[in-house]
Structure 1
Amino acid sequence: MNQRIFVFEFITGGGLAGQPLPGSLAREGRLMRDALLRDAADIAGAELVTLHDARLEAPLPDSIAVANEAGAFDTAFDAALAAADAALIVAPETGDLLVTLAARVEASGSRLLGCDAASCRVATSKSRTARVLAEAGVAVLLHYSDADALPDILGAWVVKPDDGAGCDGLQCLVNRAAAARALRAAGPHHIAQPWLDGEARSMNLLCARGRAALLSVNRQVLEHRGERVRLSALAVGAVDATPQHAALAQRIAAAVPGLLGPVGVDFIETEDGPVVVEINPRMSTSACALRAATGLNLVAATLSAARDGTLPSTDAPRPHTLTLEAHEETV
């Protein structure tokens, strides 16, 4: 039986219609979109629906162009949803974008091939994520939102948006006093965290509503530029997965049972074990290398997880490095 799958990535799919389109975001979005479209195209009987910002090249001959004007995106997104049996959504967590789009898919009657709106609402907030995981006994990075109540912890601190992704908007400060000043200046919906020594890593999971398959453990290459920190490269599958990593994946899936499909987890590998920084309740950039690293078709695996809870088994990944560009020119 044919199945029409709406594959949508926010940046390349017209989500910024009527706004500037940063070239670096478009490149990263294209990387994720094209990986998903390739996987979906390999599914027998699948028909693909997708959108593209009219300022960008169409990824498929029948891709729907979203004009660069206010209101064009909502009309095109609803039309694509109406034409699809299922939808796989990749969108930023910022400003509840991912939560809102997941809820729109749920309300449309199409099958959501991804985390439900409720779990996205937890995972898109670092503070909510930390509370939920801590209650489940998972080690999480400390966070504070009151600049006048930061504990007297020596060393560097970080200030960042509570709903940011990765290093977006992150400031690295020399001490607690500088962090307090930065937190006051940043305003609401920001948090401060003491810098934790260890290696920045991430995990790619494939979740099935309460359970998870650990697909890869990755090394993150961070570039420090004064107070700013940038993720410059991802070494996907470069770290051997341990039983501790696998147990962490299961505990996260159990703590946030609405997680479905590809999910990313950022963590710090410390001497005492992994400490979770955030959950990305969607496909992340590192997952673009999973087909090459493991042979896994992410879209097919997500369909199986959504249909009957089946989780994939994969061999140890072959490491692949993704280099991320820092240019910010607009398209």
Structure 2
Amino acid sequence: MEQLVERLSALDPEAESAVRAIAYFDTLIASRAGLDSFVRAAAILTGCPAGLHDPDRHVYLRIHPDGHRLDPGPAAPAWPGADLHGTAHGRVWVERGGAPTTVDGVILERLAAGVGIVLDRTRGRAPAWDPAGVETLLSADADPATRLRAARRLTIPVELRVRVVAALPLRRSGADPVAAPEFGDPVLSRWSTRIGRVSAAIVPATTDCRELPLRTGVGPSCTVADAWRSWAGAVTALRLTADGTPAGPGPRHLCHDDLGALAVLTERLAPADALIADVRALLAAEAATAGSLATLSALVEQNSLRQAAAALHLHHSTLQARLPQLQAVLGYPLDTAAGRARLHLALALHRIHANGMLP
């Protein structure tokens, strides 16, 4: 090998660097080095931070060329990278801002191969999608031993804090049927299933679901053994969501942690029981003037009439002129604290009624 390197050095310095990189990674493989060693080698050889992300096994690693670990962060699309074989979305990369070199490609290929060997040796193959196992973890009727076996089968780390996400798709129109969505994010899709018309996913407690193009309720943080409790909280939160459109105003994403006393009411109220006189008044207002629900939602979501008008893209005097008609249909004032509280509760009950029965 040394003789080959010396000859290549005289002919093509870049080829020499590529062969040295291959030899370096082969040595790491032969010595059964760990993940840190492989990623650190890529960072040193390229002079750029290097990273690894395997969402199937929840492995995330970034290392600086000087050898110290960096905070986890997503790989930029422009950075050179390589896919991890045998994973759905695993990837390694080097954080080079300019055009990648030929040696970068060699390093990334050897990095991906070495990381794959280490992951298979230390963590086993990532399991196939197992919706039945997820459903077992979310079932209130499953005994603890059965839940533990399901968690092991899904390779969910025992120490991992998780939340459960309950999701429904956004309606394209008021007449569209509601169907369970597919989770596109690999972190969400690995431990997911469908229960009734709702999609459910177990995710690490730190996962941010607010950017998903879905309506989501997020349950409280818990251990894997208590995922069924988080699922119940997620469904409660989902019952209070809406599409966030003029036709379906209201929050698209809600966390059970933020509901407070409203969670207690929602858990105990059937959709049919939510159709009280105040909710019928909301429906009457919308029937009389399209957009009334969006107007009323803005009034309770914003801190002032001017802010509500800005959210509705109206002049505040225009919104002020609409209030008497809305108050007449609702039967109570909207410019008092009691009236706004009553409206806030009525809108929540309206969403409970509109969402119908959920698991």
Tell me if TM exceeds 0.5: no
Pick the structure with more strand per residue.
Answer: 1
Which category of TM-score, normalised to the shorter sequence, fits these structures?
under 0.3
Q: Which has the higher contact order (CA 8 A, sep 6+)?
A: 1
Q: TM-score, normalised by structure 2?
A: 0.23
Scaled by the length of structure 1, the TM-score of the pair is: 0.24
